[in-house]
């Protein structure tokens, strides 16, 4: 009898979800996407809104695995409305999936759940691993509540994996196209002091990690981050070097705090950060296609 390889991706119609769906398909899985709108391309899809139960629950019955990537973008001002949206878009779908799984007669054996390196807050120059203490700012508390919701929602007997995901770099979407565009426009200067950590991972490495973890037996928390996190000034210097742009003066913190609201951002997202190490992944023999940022840039924007 053919082994069941169906995997359900909740919130799988965005940049990361579509990349992971393609990677899973390439590795012999049969991805099915749960989302509000039909994803691009010829992909199996079931409508859901992440808020209420419905026909989508039948997709979980007999599936091999569940991946939950639900969560609205964090690059917004922290108004009261946005704080509520950031929380509800993460916690509500996670709890809802747990209730649906609890009613399955043949539930998936594995549940891979997204979290973020925001869990660690802004620890300065201290390098953090999966065993490090959580931070205390809004983003850290959000991630803690997200992970606690997952812990409570996951039915007993289902293997649980949490990925604390760094800034994901890809050619077509995510942070890299925007950073590359401003660098090419001679605006790729250091933000503030430039000492803040910028932990990142290529979309290829993130997909490789997720696929391998779904194939294996491990459970618990993994940092999905390159083993070479950079300070902001080093990150921006590498971008300028790759695109052949000169040094420009740093943007001072006071200017960023004035400009961030006009751009719909929180200044703390620009001036804070962390140096995250994927200690557990490396300890268990995990590898990366792109350990260094230079390798990632050459892959996505090859020099002629």
Give the tens place of pLDDT for each residue, 49-76. 999 999 999 999 999 999 999 999 999 9
In this prediction, residue 85 carries a pLDDT of 97
Which pLDDT band, with edges at 50, 70 and 90, does 3 fall under?
low
Domains and CATH numbers, the chain: 6-167+201-225+275-288 (3.40.50.720)
**CB-CB contact of 239 with 301 (8 Å):** no
Greatest CA separation for the chain: 64
Has residue 2 got a pLDDT over 50? Answer: no
Cα angle 262, 264, 265 (rounded to 5 degrees) comes to 105
Q: Considering the chain, what percentage of its residues have pLDDT values greater than 70?
A: 99
Cα angle 237, 241, 246 (rounded to 5 degrees) comes to 80
Report which listed range, 12-21, 42-51, 108-117, is most confident. Answer: 108-117
**CB-CB contact of 29 with 210 (8 Å):** no
Cα(135)–Cα(239) distance, integer angstroms: 29
State mean pLDDT over 218-238: 97
Which pLDDT band, with edges at 50, 70 and 90, does 1 fall under?
very low
Give the tens place of pLDDT for each residue, 260-302. 887 788 888 889 999 999 999 999 999 999 999 999 999 999 9
How high is the mean pLDDT of the chain?
Answer: 94
């Amino acid at each position: 009898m053919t082994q069941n390889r169906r995997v359900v991706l909740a919130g799988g119609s965005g940049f990361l979800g579509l990349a992971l769906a393609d990677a899973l398909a390439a590795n012999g899985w049969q991805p099915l996407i749960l989302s509000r709108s039909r994803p691009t391309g010829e992909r199996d899809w079931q409508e859901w809104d992440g808020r209420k139960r419905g026909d989508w629950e039948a997709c979980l019955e007999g599936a091999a695995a569940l991946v939950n990537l639900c969560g609205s973008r964090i690059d917004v001002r922290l108004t009261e409305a946005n704080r509520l949206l950031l929380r509800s878009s993460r916690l509500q779908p996670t709890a809802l999936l747990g209730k649906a799984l609890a009613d399955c007669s043949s539930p998936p054996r594995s549940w891979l759940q997204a979290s973020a390196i925001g869990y660690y807050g802004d620890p300065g120059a201290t390098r953090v691993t999966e065993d490090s203490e959580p931070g205390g700012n809004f983003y850290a508390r959000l991630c803690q509540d997200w992970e606690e919701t997952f812990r409570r929602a996951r039915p007993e007997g289902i293997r649980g994996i949490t990925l604390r995901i760094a800034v994901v770099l890809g050619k077509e979407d995510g942070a890299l196209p925007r950073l590359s565009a401003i660098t090419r426009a001679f605006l790729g200067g250091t933000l503030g002091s430039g000492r803040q950590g910028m932990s990142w991972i290529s979309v290829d490495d993130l997909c490789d990690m997720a696929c391998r973890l779904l194939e294996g037996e491990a459970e618990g928390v993994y940092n999905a981050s390159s083993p070479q996190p950079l300070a902001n000034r080093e990150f921006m210097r590498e971008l300028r070097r790759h695109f052949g742009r000169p040094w420009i003066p740093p943007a001072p913190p006071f200017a960023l705090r004035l400009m961030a609201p006009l751009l719909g951002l929180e200044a703390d997202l620009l001036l804070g950060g962390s140096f995250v190490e994927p200690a557990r992944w490396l300890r268990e023999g995990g590898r990366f296609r792109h350990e260094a940022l230079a390798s990632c840039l050459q892959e996505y924007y090859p020099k002629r």
